[in-house]
Structure 1
């Protein structure tokens, strides 16, 4: 199979050479296309362990994040900010931009909205994991959170599973009701995970959202809300019971509080972690009779893959 980086037209072959004008790509890449691009990149050999770690610089009101990557014909870097208090101001918690470059010349090619890109690529990665982990007929979804990632995950998971029933759990009653009306969901509580096929944790919570003993053996849990060792959305009980899949083992042991705290509590052996690439390529089988847990922290290769695919689709 040709890789997405091979099937893309080479920007250096454009008549007249590379343009000095950067393309400004507005809006979000299509979800289904993002899912396909990410899955294909892993099948074609992209190694999530090989990428440089995210640079995180604390500032008085949050964090500055720098995320570079290179793959195929492209390189790129996302410059983002994380401001926890922005929700109270009516502003996004995550903001930033993505600069896509030609890999050989490092000539800037396109500038993308970092918020839209992050929203799509995070949910798309979860969908790739869910497609490999969840039962084929998984139809009952519990979503924790009412923000952009909750909406994106609902869209992404509907791309890979026949979702029929959606339950939303949120802290703010008004926002939760609005989300439920908008998405055709019903308002529920943490106990609803006991009847879920899929659970998507898309919050800024610092402590577990539900009792891990309630998760059915056939369920798949996805957690993407944090990239800090001190924060987690899922308790060690759920982690200990589950097959644990991560984007990259090194990144998870560096940034994933759900994983790190379970290891520190003696509930998880780091050697048991399954990398997403191995799972997608069929190198690791998922044992039956236990829940499946995917923890994502967000990695630079994901931004690059989705940004490049969006750029190519726009050019076509």
Structure 2
């Protein structure tokens, strides 16, 4: 029987700490196969993503659209679904809400990276960009790292205030900051989740900082100034989520960094090593993360 899960049911099936653990397990699973995703440009500036993946038990295809201008229409930026199949029988066994999986698995990947790479994990946490990904990262870092202090920066004060209110409802000490670059000096944990249409961060992260750069996931997108990326490459540690980042990590590619020479999150999961700060973790997305979510959701 096919399980059709709406946004709320999908979220309940994917607690952040457990999802981070499932992602780590997937990175150690030799049966996982993830072909390159298809990104089809759409008229008007949107994109259609087709992202299949499989392991020995579960196969998925993620079908979502990304339309940056949807905020002005009052619509979600990401829409679509993840179809889950049983490998042995080929039967469809589940349908998960695509935006919910995207938000939660992306934050869980950042959480796993912070668990393995962050020189300091106590915060304060600075979130730059107060949309869906800002909210999911806030929840993930609170649940998985125990962060209690949060600073929120957004070009729209109302969005920042709404995320601050959500953080306070979770029992966190939260406040809005109007200068994200200045806030870098007091925050060892930083997550950037902006629409990435232009550089929004030019400040220098602390020596003990962990940065999860999430917003830019194509070569043309960018959040961090090229000189900041080059500085962190010279004095710290750069890690990418997967080898797909070699041609998708806009922040690093536009800084002229040889992304193909950087280690991946899987490298750190399989062989932990010492970290030299600051740490810059570049996340671009991968269907394997959606497969991990499907594995967890269908096992619950």
Secondary structure of 2:271's partner? coil
Distance 1:183 1:300 in 2: 29
Within a 5 Å distance, the mapping from 1:251-270 to structure 2 comes to: 251-263=244-256, 268-270=257-259
Aligned pair in 2 of structure 1 residues 196, 85: CA closer, same or farther (>3 Å)?
same
Kept after mapping to 2: 8 A contact 1:145/1:202 = yes
Aligned pair partner of 1:310 in 294, 297, 300: 297
Superposed CA deviations along residues 30-73 of structure 1, whole A, max 9, x for unmatched, are: 222211111122234466xx621110111113111100001120
Aligned pair partner of 1:239 in 229, 237, 250: 229
Secondary structure of 1:84's partner? coil
Aligned pair in 2 of structure 1 residues 75, 147: CA closer, same or farther (>3 Å)?
same
Within a 5 Å distance, the mapping from 1:45-124 to structure 2 comes to: 45=30, 51-61=34-44, 62-124=46-108
Kept after mapping to 2: 8 A contact 1:252/1:260 = no
Q: CA deviation at 1:221?
A: 0.4
Aligned pair in 2 of structure 1 residues 159, 281: CA closer, same or farther (>3 Å)?
farther
Distance 2:226 2:31 in 1: 30
Distance 1:210 1:302 in 2: 27
Q: CA deviation at 1:269?
A: 3.3
Q: Point out where structure 2 has 5 or more consecutive residues left out of the alignment.
A: 169-173
Q: CA deviation at 1:156?
A: 1.0
Within a 5 Å distance, the mapping from 1:1-316 to structure 2 comes to: 21-26=1-6, 27=8, 28=11, 29-45=14-30, 51-61=34-44, 62-184=46-168, 185-188=174-177, 189-190=179-180, 191-212=182-203, 214-240=204-230, 241=232, 242-249=236-243, 251-263=244-256, 268-270=257-259, 272-283=261-272, 285-288=273-276, 290-313=277-300
Secondary structure of 2:207's partner? coil
Q: CA deviation at 1:183?
A: 1.1
Superposed CA deviations along residues 89-112 of structure 1, whole A, max 9, x for unmatched, are: 111100100000112332211111
Kept after mapping to 2: 8 A contact 1:204/1:225 = yes
Q: CA deviation at 1:286?
A: 3.9
Question: How many residues get paired?
Answer: 283
Distance 1:201 1:215 in 2: 12
Kept after mapping to 1: 8 A contact 2:212/2:282 = yes
Aligned pair in 2 of structure 1 residues 136, 194: CA closer, same or farther (>3 Å)?
closer
Q: Give the TM-score taking structure 2 as reference length.
A: 0.89
Q: Give the TM-score taking structure 1 as reference length.
A: 0.85
Larger radius of gyration: 1
Kept after mapping to 2: 8 A contact 1:252/1:259 = no
Q: CA deviation at 1:211?
A: 1.7
Aligned pair in 2 of structure 1 residues 108, 138: CA closer, same or farther (>3 Å)?
same
Distance 2:99 2:245 in 1: 22
Distance 1:53 1:295 in 2: 18
Q: CA deviation at 1:308?
A: 1.8
Distance 1:24 1:306 in 2: 15
